[in-house]
Chain A
Amino acid sequence: MSALTEAVGTGRSLIGTRRTPAGGNALSQADAPKPAWRLAVRAFSRDRMAVVSLVVLVVVALAAIFAPLLTSYSPVAGDPVNRLAGVGTDGHFLGLDGQGRDIWTRLLYGGRNSLLVAVIPVLVVFPLALMIGLFAGFRRSRAGEVTMRVLDVLFAFPLVLLAIALSAVLGAGLGNVMLAIGVTLVPYMARVAYTATVQESSKDYVEAARAYGANPLLLMFRELMPNVVVQLLVYATTLCGLMIVVASGLSFLGVGVIPPTPDWGIMTADGKNVLLEGIYHVATIPGLLILVVSLAFSLVGDGVRDALDPRKQTS
């Protein structure tokens, strides 16, 4: 929820505004203003934390995609003899879980589910939220406003709780979890798109286009939308990080991905049972990965936000 308030931030128009280079240094000597996206990419590439985080995400995604190339074990079949063998065991450098399954292998294959469950709902809800926000915020259409007020009610439910309740009634399974998370996200993403739209609508370039007699729909889609998309994108990136935690939490509670399908949340839950016997590696490793990936998403989100902020991309 804090990400929500942070992401809305101050309105900024990136595309469709001419920018005069700030400062008088060598780089900005050229008279022609650089395209906004190139300034943003440059600013992002200077943000070391964000770049490292992006690399982490790419590596994790590739590892999940090419899981079969990186391990020779099966993610579901175990080796009962070596069950619970610790980190550094021969051939199993991250150890084995309670059913003798290789933890490294399960992390790789589990990444597929854990990442998909978190990212796909955000991607699917993105255009929907964008349209709700644009129509409610710019056109001030009654249907749009009513939709926003109805969505406001959903803010009365803590995000995680709504996701838990929805997946509880829909039943576990990959598709149902994505549906539950997607529905939960609609009010949050629509609110960000709506706030961004309202902020952009009051800016001079919109006023000018209106006064000039521009077709409102064209104005909305061609001038306004790119600026709203950018702001929603920043929020969506941060949200992906939060959803990694939420989605694996649903699996942890048993309302998410169904075992024995590997998933980082399920792996943590598996570790819960052996923790009381003093065996820690089964629970700690997947949780640590959830933390790292979630943090990486937030840092990339912060990096994108800062890179798009004209006040921070000077020099």
Chain B
Amino acid sequence: MTRVIGSRLFSTALVLFGVSLVVFLLLQLVPGDPAVTILGSGATAGAVAELRSELGLDRALPIQFFDYLGGLLRGDLGRSLTVNAPVTDIMVPRFVNTMILTGAALLLCIVVAVPLGVIAAHKQYSLFDRMSMVISMAGASVPVYWFGLLLIGVFAITLGWLPTSGMYDPRFPGGVGDLLAHLVLPAIAAALVPLAVIARMTRSVMIDILAQDYIRTLRASGLSTSSVLWRHALRNALPPIVNITGLQVGYLLGGVVFVEVVFGWPGLGQQLYTSITQRDIPVVQAGVLFIALAFVIINLVADMAVGLLDPRTRRAVGV
């Protein structure tokens, strides 16, 4: 098991190396000279050259990359072009906020989607099954930003039950209750699409499992339906469900960008949006890097969980 985890960690490190290379290369795609962008078009050639050597832009690309990588390892992501502050200082608190929202949405996904899929599989072709599958089919196609706007329109403006945006009440900030009230709508908006996909996947995995012989044996030996369903069948369905959930986190994190913009949630997505508008590329880079990092790590955790849940795959996890 230790060796398996070791090799999985090694391949994750390789992926992270690749991720930082891609993020580094993103900067190279930006049209124009970053030094000119910082100084403005009226800058003298001398000033531009000076800044270029200060930023290390006059060196070979591979050397620039290893400089960037060294900075990453020290937690130095460069300086923002618009706010005179290190990118790390701007992004770390926002990363925490994004993780709060993502965590809440993920929890909502699992708590709703898995029971929905299990019950739909149990009552296959029933009205409940058909209804929930039609809804989740449509749910998987919903534009996240539009759904967020609908939620604001209905629950914040028309009904006035929940706040329209932000993370805390600006007048009386603080408190877990305040945070939760602000969290409900964005979490629902972010959860919808992955929830729909996980529910469908749970249903199809459970249908396969419920058709197997050992389930019939369990039923024949007099176990209650709920025990067969929730203890025995679901337990064997969990590894593929966890796998799919891990992959859906990618969609969740992508959707969170839109949700944060719509709900004014002060996380990475909203910062990305602002920085893209201002063409503050180091901040954009850092935002992309942080989200990819979270995605890779969550999938690593999901893979490990699958290994723990299913003894048969323990050996295979490292591959």
Residues of chain A having any CB pair with chain B under 8 Å: 1-2, 5, 150, 152-154, 156-162, 164-166, 168-171, 241, 245, 248-249, 252-255, 265, 268-269, 271-272, 275-276, 278, 280, 283-284, 286-288, 290-291, 294-295, 298-299
Residue B306 lies at the interface, judged by CB distance under 8 Å to chain A = no
Chain A residue with Cβ nearest B281: A169
Determine the chain A residues whose CB is within 8 A of the CB of B272 once the complex forms. Answer: 164, 168
Determine the chain B residues whose CB is within 8 A of the CB of A152 once the complex forms. Answer: 15, 18
CB distance from A21 to the nearest CB of B (A): 27
Determine the chain B residues whose CB is within 8 A of the CB of A157 once the complex forms. Answer: 19, 22, 250, 288, 291-292, 295
A-contact 0/1 string along B266-294, CB 8 Å cutoff = 00000011001100010010001001100
Which among B137, B244, B273 is the interface contact of A5 at CB below 8 angstroms? Answer: B244
Known: A160-B257, A169-B29, A169-B30. A294 touches B295 (CB 8 A): no
Known: A156-B292, A156-B296, A287-B149. A2 touches B257 (CB 8 A): no
Residue B142 lies at the interface, judged by CB distance under 8 Å to chain A = yes
Determine the chain B residues whose CB is within 8 A of the CB of A2 once the complex forms. Answer: 140, 197, 200-201, 244, 247-248
A160 with B247: CB separation less than 8 A: no
Which among B138, B158, B250 is the interface contact of A158 at CB below 8 angstroms? Answer: B250
Determine the chain B residues whose CB is within 8 A of the CB of A269 once the complex forms. Answer: 145
Determine the chain B residues whose CB is within 8 A of the CB of A295 once the complex forms. Answer: 137-138, 141
Chain B residue with Cβ nearest A242: B141
Known: A156-B295, A249-B144, A283-B149. A298 touches B250 (CB 8 A): no
A160 with B255: CB separation less than 8 A: yes
Known: A169-B281, A276-B157, A284-B150. A164 touches B140 (CB 8 A): no
Determine the chain A residues whose CB is within 8 A of the CB of B247 once the complex forms. Answer: 1-2, 5
Residue B164 lies at the interface, judged by CB distance under 8 Å to chain A = yes
Contact sample, A vs B, 5 pairs, CB 8 Å cutoff: A156-B15, A156-B295, A268-B149, A275-B152, A298-B141
Given the complex of chains A and B, what is the CA–CA distance between A81 and B159 in angstroms? 30
Chain B residue with Cβ nearest A290: B143
